[in-house]
Amino acid sequence: MKNKFKKLQKGNIARDVLMGIVVLVGSAFTAITIYAIIFFIIGVSQNGF
C-alpha cells in the first residue's frame, strides 16, 4: 500500500487528476443510467405498455 502511494506521488499529477475525474464521471454516468432504467421500467409497468 505504501509503495503504491509513493508511486502515485512520483507520477504525473495532471494525469492522476484526469484519471480521478474520468472515474468520477464514469461512476456518475453509470448511476444515472441505472436510475433511468429503473424509472423507465416503473413507468412502463404503471402505464401497462
5 has a pLDDT exceeding 70: no
Domains of the chain, residue spans: 2-47
Q: Which pLDDT band holds residue 6 (cuts at 50, 70, 90)?
A: low
Please give the pLDDT value at position 13.
82
Average pLDDT over residues 8-36: 88
**Which of 13 and 33 is assigned the larger pLDDT?**
33
Nearest to 35 by CA among 45, 23, 25, 43: 43
Average pLDDT over residues 35-45: 93
Please give the pLDDT value at position 19.
92
**16, 8 contact by CB (below 8 A):** yes
Nearest to 4 by CA among 14, 16, 17, 22: 16
